[in-house]
Amino acid sequence: MTTQPATVPATTPAAPPAADLVAAFRRALAMTTTDGREAPAARAALRAAAEACRGPLAERWAATQAKDAARGKDQRRVHYLSMEFLMGRAMRNALAALQLEPALRDELATRGVSLADVLESEPDAALGNGGLGRLAACFLDSFAELGLPSFGYGLRYRYGMFAQGLQDGAQVERPDDWQRDGTHWDFERADVAFVVGFGGHVESDAGGTRRWVPAERVRARAFDFVVPAHAHGHVATLRQWEASAEQPIDFAAFCRGDYAAAGAAQLAADTLNWVLYPDDSTEAGRTLRLKQEAFLVSASLQDLIARHLAEGRPLAELGRGNAIHLNDTHPALAPAELMRLLVDEHGLEWTEAWAITRQAVAYTNHTLMPEALETWPVAMVERLLPRHLEIIYRINHEFLSDVRTKAPGDDALVQRVSIIDEQHGRRVRMAALAVVASHQVNGVAKLHSDLMVETIFSDYARLYPERFTNVTNGVTPRRWLQQCNPGLSNLLDDSIGTGWRRDLGQLSALRAQAGDAALGQRLAAVKRANKEKLAERIRRELGVVVDVDSLFDVQIKRIHEYKRQLLNLLHVVARYQAMLANPAGPEGQGWTPRTVVIAGKAASAYVAAKQIVRLATDIGRVVNSDPRLGGKLKLVFLPNYGVSLAESIIPAADLSEQISTAGTEASGTGNMKFAMNGALTIGTWDGANIEMAQHIGEDDVFVFGLRADAVANLKAVGYDPRWIAAQNASLKAVLDAIGSGAFSPGEPQRYRALVDGLLNRDTYLLLADFADYVATQSRVDVLYRDPKAWNASALRNIAGMGFFSADRTVAEYAAKVWSVPGAAKAAKTNA
Ligand SMILES: *Cc1c(COP(=O)(O)O)cnc(C)c1O
């Protein structure tokens, strides 16, 4: 096979004429509705609109693939492996890319349907849990915009992250059946399928070559979820794998009438795609999870090798032509599987295969919490993946001999860095495997990358310092500014021109205008309109009326103790008590009205996090109905947090709560979305908050609390939360109220354990940071009462956020980690 010509034909099609798309919409609608005269249901209109977009998207996809293939032997493709892609909705992005929105809006209007209702009827593809999965989705958007030759690889989950409901204020979980009406944006690739094995044993052939004979074999089928660019015709791909049995039905069992046995193989294959995180409290759940990881890795690597060979390139160039990125350790079996494919299936020598693997693989770490680092029992790996275990042993053996030559006699070091943990019943440390196999390992914000090499990876960093680097996260400004906040986007166009839409760095031009009071007022008017919409949603969903002119104080993110939603609640209760004790407000100035909005899901088995959700709703019930407050304090918990809910809340926020214990939040990306939309941040010196403050200017961020080094010191010398509570009368009153049932009169003991946990351990130092947090909230109140100063600060916040575009982040990965030439330039000039 010959390589493609190096000259690339122009393949970026112009957006098809809107009239063609409207005609396609009409045809599709005629095929889905039963009665052409009635106004179609929003979902039927959604399906028809998606159908109309699919044709041009498919053409763009094919053109993109042809263009990438034609780049010839100098090209390098990026393969981004992730167990999570938190995509959210896709329709608005497709309409923007195809410039179809105005025409579709008009067409729908003639049928008595509003575009907003149609967009709102699209279910979120919630195939992720939180920031890690949303990062992967933002990256796909930037892959498209940068025209980066790439594939995202994930699993096609049947059910997304659970749907969260509230019952008596407590979280209940329901399955999230996002595919119920079918899917709109993925294309099945009937010609792409690979076999993935599990279990069985390993044999040696006559020449001594090891060969795996799996006991169970499933087929991986490819579905491509397409993500179009706005500025040109490039389309990024998320290839999602779906498992099916090689023999979907055991016909003999079927004829016997044993239908369960007849379908058992298909059922086993189906379970691989059921849910994102099988409950890992059972052996079956843990086994399923490991199988999912192996399935993702094997199918993706077979696919990329097949593509490489189909393009006529020799296997020896596989590492040069392909970057393989591990989004956290979930796909960290990749190096072992790649070695198996290269050595066992393609006959390469171990040394050459290892050089290829090292050249290709890189890994992003997302957490420093030792308990969150993934490990698997050796026995389980041996049972499911016997050949992979042999390969891991050999990788480890060669790695440890290298360590022994570098640090002779240091057996303790060898134990600490070994891929096999011998202390806890023999387990495979996935992070160690990822570090050993990668040529680059990065953290996701500067502080996190620094702490990564000082703490969990310090031994590796001493041995291989050149391997470690930082790439600070970013978010896609298409979804998180242009689409979610058209009012602000138009205002930006008016004040600094439209260049920021292609190059977010141009937001900095706003800084010079931050003192312009008229501009500040226009910004406030945009914000107020967004707040009105959110207030309406709160009224509709929760029956709570909130004051649109109050300060909207927002914390939305996964519920986790380290993110300290509980600290936020302590402040709400402190404020509540202070308002009752002193109705005239601090210094007789009155109380700045506040609406505190919290949203987030608690993992189903995480008892403490679920308690926090319940406490938030309990406090809200009391506070929201207390007439003595005159409506000046409200607390609402909006259920079922996800991408779409975030898109509706963030543009309406005045204040963004980023209050994790310093040293615990790897980066955060929610913090970025808020500041981009003109919210001010109250936050700790943690994760990307630090770099945000540096880009925005520290005077325009409300920073409080202990810094990471002080947190570590305090823990080292011995932290006594009870002593802190005893010193602070207001804090003590807050804890007493919560602990004695002031917000749960029907069950006074409901939060006793939660409060005792704070007084006895307070692992995340809420009490240590409480006083400074409350004092800083008072400074927020003061600034909010001065709209001119507040608006100027909000403008400076927006102006400083250009750096936090995922386009910049991806360009940095391309240059520093993936060695893809030209992508950094493309980030600026692809427009
Ligand atoms: C951005 C985002 C996150 C990450 O938020 P953090 O505040 O950084 O934890 C999680 N979930 C969704 C739906 C998001 O959009």
DSSP state of 7: S
Distance CA 341, CA 87 (A): 31
- The structure tokens listed for 178 are 């996002």
Res 338: pLDDT: 98
Mean pLDDT value across residues 609-638: 98
Sequence-distant (≥ 6) Cβ neighbours of residue 666 within 8 angstroms:
131, 365, 366, 367, 368, 443, 444, 445, 448, 687
Q: What percentage of the chain carries pLDDT values higher than 90? A: 90
Q: To test the ligand 1 pocket, which listed residue (87, 141, 558) has its Cβ within 8 A of the most ligand atoms?
A: 558
Res 169: pLDDT: 97
pLDDT at 83 over 70: yes
pTM: 0.96
For residue 86, the ligand 1 atom closest to its alpha carbon is: 13
pLDDT at 38 over 90: no
Residue nearest to atom 10 of ligand 1 (CA): 130
Marked catalytic residue, from 67, 448, 531, 563: 563
Specify whether 779 is catalytic. no
Res 40: pLDDT: 82
Res 830: pLDDT: 41
Give the tens place of pLDDT for each residue, 288-343. Answer: 999 999 999 999 999 999 999 999 999 999 999 999 999 999 999 999 999 999 99
Mean pLDDT value across residues 615-634: 98
Distance CA 30, CA 769 (A): 61
Marked catalytic residue, from 76, 558, 601, 750: 558
Highest mean pLDDT among 13-17, 34-38, 368-372: 368-372
Marked catalytic residue, from 89, 366, 439, 575: 366
Give the tens place of pLDDT for each residue, 702-716. Answer: 999 999 999 999 999
Cβ(669) to ligand 1 under 6 A?
yes
Q: What angle do CA 533, 537, 539 make, to 5 degrees?
A: 115
DSSP state of 667: -
Mean pLDDT value across residues 74-91: 95
- The structure tokens listed for 25 are 């919409």
Residue nearest to atom 11 of ligand 1 (CA): 130
Cβ(557) to ligand 1 under 6 A?
yes
Cβ(646) to ligand 1 under 6 A?
yes
Res 424: pLDDT: 84
Give the tens place of pLDDT for each residue, 94-106. Answer: 999 999 999 999 9
Mean pLDDT value across residues 597-603: 97
pLDDT at 12 over 50: no
Give the tens place of pLDDT for each residue, 502-526. Answer: 999 999 999 999 999 999 999 999 9
Decide if 781 contacts 596 (C-beta within 8 A).
no
Res 371: pLDDT: 84
Res 4: pLDDT: 31
Cβ(614) to ligand 1 under 6 A?
no
Mean pLDDT value across residues 265-283: 90
Residue nearest to atom 6 of ligand 1 (CA): 670
Q: Is 409 left (phi over 0), alpha (psi -120 to 50) or beta?
A: left
Residue nearest to atom 9 of ligand 1 (CA): 557
> Domains in the chain, please, with CATH?
71-88+124-370 (3.40.50.2000), 477-800 (3.40.50.2000)
Q: Output Rg (C-alpha) for the chain, integer angstroms.
A: 27
Cβ(131) to ligand 1 under 6 A?
yes
Compute the mean pLDDT over every residue in the chain, rounded to the nearest whole number: 94
Strand-pair partners of 53: none
Marked catalytic residue, from 291, 429, 673, 796: 673
pLDDT at 829 over 70: no
Angle formed by the axes of helices 766-784 and 787-799, nearest 10°: 120
| SS3 state at 442 | strand
Q: What percentage of the chain carries pLDDT values higher than 70? A: 96
Cβ(359) to ligand 1 under 6 A?
no
pLDDT at 767 over 90: yes
Res 17: pLDDT: 84
Distance CA 80, CA 806 (A): 15
Specify whether 366 is catalytic. yes
Distance CA 228, CA 93 (A): 8
Q: To test the ligand 1 pocket, which listed residue (139, 162, 669) has its Cβ within 8 A of the most ligand atoms?
A: 669
Residue at 336: amino acid letter? A
Distance CA 251, CA 264 (A): 12
Question: Around Cβ 3, how many Cβ atoms within 10 Å?
Answer: 13
According to DSSP, the β-strands at 427-429 and 420-421 are antiparallel
Decide if 296 contacts 331 (C-beta within 8 A).
yes
Specify whether 533 is catalytic. no
Instruction: Tell me which of 71 and 596 has the higher pLDDT.
Output: 596
pLDDT at 824 over 90: no
